[in-house]
Structure 1
Amino acid sequence: MKVALVHYHLQPGGVTRVIENTVSAWKINGNGPEDYVILSGRNYPERKLQNVRVVEGLDYMDLSDATDPLILKERMEEAARSVLGKLPDVWHIHNHSLGKNSGLSGAVAELAKSGARLLLQPHDFAEDGRPQNFRNLGEARALLYPTAGQIHYAALNRRDQSFLQSTLDDFNSPVHLLANAIPQQPASNPREIQRYFPELPENLILYPVRAVRRKNLGELALLSATHPEFHFANSLGPTNPAFRSIYQNWIEYTQHHQLSLTYGLGEQTDASFPEMVNHAQAIVNVSVAEGFGLGFLEPWTFGKCLVGRNIPEITSDFSELGVHLDNLYNELWVDSSLVDQESLKHAISAALGSAYQDYQRELPADAVNVATESILNEQGVKFGSLNEDLQKQVIAEVQSSKQETESIRKQAKLQILNEPNIQKNQAAVAENFSLPAYGAKVYQIYRNLLESQTEKVTYANSEKMLEQFLSPERLNLLRS
């Protein structure tokens, strides 16, 4: 079996790490393809990967600059032959539908027409809050999801698997669940770390993420306001200039309200990421949207308990594999009297109107009511769905109310699990998400793909995917 792995680039980041882990897993297992080639639109800056070929026109490109799909297909085939000596038995293509290059989306459609066996693995979706990417697909949108017995898909989580299956309904392309690998982490002595890095806070609850809007920094402030026995911190500040002013406002807010909270702790210490994690009493998540869900698995590899917010549509399959997250909460509800409801409804209406306009779709007549009822109902208001201004209003009210503080503490249930339960989750992650386990899953999918019957290619209605993501009840003001 000979395989081509394809991505726009191999710069440091999530998909590049996935490709590196895939190749590493094959080497560890001694059970992988006979040969492989990696096609990229840019030079690879590291040395971990071999057999890399740069293909002109494969990198990110605007719609007006995109290479003709037939030409790009031919270049990809030529580059693959230069290493493999023949066309690949399997094309494993990452993020073809993301809208970063309509030429690749079209080239995938051309490969499909030629009868190639394809494994298409979306990590992110143009339909999920990326309207500019969606528009950048142009006419390729109609060909975005080819389907036939010899075309399989791989999804990172149950939600993506479900959305793909619904989009491909009544077609024959299987959708495999293929969660990313989680390498095991070395343990360190917390006392030694404290000695070398005294600037690290005691009783630290660490949120090991870079500051972006969907990471919900306001909820970290809410937890800090209601749990003064801990010091909360996230690890890194933003790189997106558009978010920097919001981030700075949170820093000023926490200082003004004297919260035991540090934003950007990793930029205020020489301690490494593993050293900060090992020093922490626990790891916290408050993100409202994730792709794979690394943050729900990686803490256990360090032997650390995870506390905070769950995202069930991302983590539902983890519990089936023995990673129990029952100690997490799904939502933090606050009393509706703490929120200016007119401001909330105005924000919801504006956000929905903007989202549908960005995707050039008509706003459903009941969309505002549906979205409002999903955020504001008889249970109260979902704190994690509010924008930053409304979140700040709520935190100030909660701080001045013993009753509201106790309500948040009861819902958040920030209890650090005992060592036996931590070890059970650690073992489950090691068994199901290790590099060897990942490599075996990928190779088995390839084998299934090779055994699949060749059929005539058709194309699923890509509008179904957009409808699933662009849904009023999924509205979150932190993603608007």
Structure 2
Amino acid sequence: MKIAIVHYHLQPGGVTRVIENTLQAWEENGTEIEAVALSGRAYPGDRLPNTRKIDGLDYSSPQDAIDPKVLTERLRESARNALGQAPDLWHIHNHSLGKNPSLTSAVSLLAEAGERILLHPHDFAEDGRPGNYLSLREVYPRVYPTGSHIHYAALNQRDRDFLAHMLKDRPSPVHLLANAVPPISPFSASAKENTCELPENLLLYPVRAVRRKNLGELALLASAHHDFHFANSLGPTNPQFTPIFEEWIQFGKELDLPLTYGLGEHTNASFPEMVSHAQSILSVSVAEGFGLGFLEPWTFGKGLCGRNLPDITSDFAELGVSLANLYDRLPVPLDCISSVTQLRETIQSALEQFYLNYQQDLPQDGTETAFQSMVANDSIDFGRLDEPTQQEIIRAVAQSWELQQGIQKHAGLEVLAKDIIDRNKQAVAEQFSLTSYAERTLKIYQELLAVEDNHGCQFANGQLLLDQYLSPARLNLLRTS
């Protein structure tokens, strides 16, 4: 079996790691697959034995993108030269992300020519990336080809469901293909020389500070749980988020909360030492890709507590990973907010800007739909609010024992028993191993190769996908500008 793998680049990062791990697993399993990785930049690593640099495949604006027919021919020629023949199928990553409309169009040309293709979107232009979406404006009617010879693979259940809705009654199946979670080398029990300076009863949120990580929820939890110390590991690298991050630092100090933002930058302790010292790993993120943060803690031998993202993790329980102790929402009374009218105006403004950025019409009932999706039983989900509203709520909670009791009850933070941790660790090792990932990928390839009729290509209506991601019911004020 000869496979051409395509991505804009092979720089260190998520997609490159997926490609490297897949080829490694095939080799270790003795799977007879010959692959070439085609990218727009020279590969700087040493794990991929067969790569080719394709001019015109790298990130490019619509103005600078090359002729798609030229790019298509370059892809075909390079694949033939590297594999000794035309590939049996193409495995193409993120073709619809809006980073290069020529690749998007080249995929449509390959699809129309009957090439067997696995389209593997890791991220979507429709999901909070209006600039990317607009770069596809001219080619958008042909972004999502369909046919029995074209399959899709999604990282999580939400994306799979959204794609399946767009492709309903189309011949292209959608597979769930969550990334692998490589095994972690055991943290040395003796590597604790710097842990004396770490806070006791630490709940560690091992993430870099970005807005969607919902750092305000750390402060809310800290205001209600005085027996734990809460911390995230790293500060921001995005200068646009730095002022918000520094504001949270000052806010935590002002209220004297058991809280440290950017703990790794205030200690000599290594990351393994911080993890080893922590009572548990914590997550309060409001948006994730495939859900690594819900799987990796168990490989550390640590429990996980905090916020769940059911649309990302819904299939994990079926695979033996129990997240029953996590909360789906963290309700706080609406009367903690001084002006619900102002909140509605904030929601209205955010939606108007969001839809304007996508050049779409906001549904007439959009604001009410968004508001009602956040509210239940006179309470509102804290994690869907903007920073000023979050801070107003935290001030109220910090002064009210009754509100603190409510937060404790709903959050359910606890250090899990070892048997639960061990079961989840085993499930992750079995279900999300490199071997398991390689086997699932191979199975999809075999299904594609078994397709006899590789002629006939149509294009799905991408508006159906955009409408799902844009839905006012999904609005989170931490994901708007």
TM bucket, shorter chain? over 0.9
1:73 aligns with 2:72: yes
**CA 140–467 in structure 1, closer or farther in 2 if over 3 Å, else same:** same
How much has 1:446 moved relative to structure 2? 0.6
Q: Any idea what SS the aligned residue of 2:138 has?
A: helix
| Corresponding residue number in structure 1 for 2:388 | 389
1:21 aligns with 2:21: yes
Superposition map of 1:262-273 within 5 A: 262-273=260-271
Report what 2:237 is aligned to.
Answer: 239
Matched position secondary structure for 2:394: helix
Deviation at 1:178, TM superposition (A): 0.4
The structural deviation recorded for 1:430 is: 0.5
| 1:45-444 matches, cutoff 5 A | 45-190=44-189, 192-339=190-337, 340-444=339-443
| Residues in 2 aligned to 1:24 and 1:452: alpha-carbon distance in whole angstroms | 27
Q: Which amino acid aligns with 1:348?
A: I
Q: Can you list the C-alpha shifts for 1:206-228, whole angstroms capped at 9, x where unaligned? A: 11111111110000111111112
Distance in 2, matches of 1:137 and 1:227, equals 47
Secondary structure at 2:139's aligned position in 1?
A: helix
Q: Is the contact made by 1:32 and 1:443 (CA closer than 8 Å) also made in structure 2? A: no
1 CA distance for matches of 2:271 and 2:9? 25
| Cα distance, 1:47 vs structure 2 | 1.3
Once the two structures are TM-superposed, the CA of residue 198 in structure 1 deviates from its matched residue by: 2.7
Q: Is the 8 A contact 2:194 2:273 kept in 1?
A: no
How far, CA to CA, are the matches of 1:333 and 1:422 in structure 2? Answer: 27
Counterparts of 2:156 and 2:164 in 1: how far apart (Å)?
12
User: Is 1:475 paired with 2:475?
Assistant: yes
Quick one: which amino acid aligns to residue 44 of structure 2?
P
Residue 32 to residue 401, structure 1, CA distance change in 2 (3 Å): farther
SS of 2:240's equivalent? helix
Structure 2 distance, partners of 1:253, 1:398, is 14
Q: Secondary structure at the match of 2:456?
A: coil
Cα displacement (A) at 1:69: 0.9
Gaps of 5+ in 2: none
Answer yes or no: is 1:457 the counterpart of 2:457: yes
Matching residue's letter, 1:215: K
Question: For the structure 1 residues 23 and 271, does the alpha-carbon distance in structure 2 shift closer, same or farther, using more than 3 Å as the test?
Answer: farther
- 1:479/1:176 Cα in 2 relative to 1: closer, same or farther (>3 Å)? same
Q: Please report how far the alpha carbon of residue 379 of structure 1 lies from its aligned counterpart in structure 2 after TM superposition.
A: 4.1
Deviation of 1:271 (Å)? 3.4
Equivalent-residue separation in structure 2 for 1:246 and 1:370 (angstroms): 28
The residue identity in structure 2 corresponding to 1:206 is L
- Per the alignment, do residues 162 and 366 of structure 1 end up closer, same or farther by CA in structure 2, a change over 3 Å counting? same
Tell me the alpha carbon deviations over residues 423-477 of structure 1, each in whole angstroms, 9 at most, x when there is no partner.
1101100010001111111111111110023230000001000000000111110
Contact 1:63 1:138 in 2 (8 A): no
What SS class does the counterpart of residue 209 from structure 1 fall into? strand
Whole-Å Cα distance in 2 between the matches of residues 322 and 406 of structure 1?
A: 32
Alpha-carbon separation, structure 1, partners of 2:274 and 2:16: 25
Residue correspondences, number: 478
Query: Secondary structure at 2:122's aligned position in 1?
Result: coil
The alpha carbon displacement at 1:189 in A equals 4.2
Q: Is the CA contact 2:92–2:118 (under 8 Å) kept in the aligned structure 1?
A: yes
Deviation at 1:203, TM superposition (A): 1.5
Alpha-carbon distance change, 271 to 39 in structure 1, aligned in 2, over 3 angstroms: farther
Letter in 1 for 2:294: F
CA–CA separation in structure 2 for the residues paired with 1:8 and 1:276: 35
Distance in 2, matches of 1:477 and 1:458, equals 37
State the distance in 2 between where 1:458 and 1:244 align: 46
Secondary structure in 1 aligned to 2:35? Answer: strand
The amino acid that maps onto 1:470 is L
Structure 2 residue matching 1:37: 3-state secondary structure? strand
Q: TM-score, normalised by structure 1?
A: 0.98
2 CA distance for matches of 1:271 and 1:46? 29
Over 4 Å off, 4+ runs: none
1:466 equivalent in structure 2: 466
Q: CA deviation at 1:282?
A: 0.6
Q: CA deviation at 1:169?
A: 1.1
Instruction: Give the TM-score, by structure 2 length.
Output: 0.97
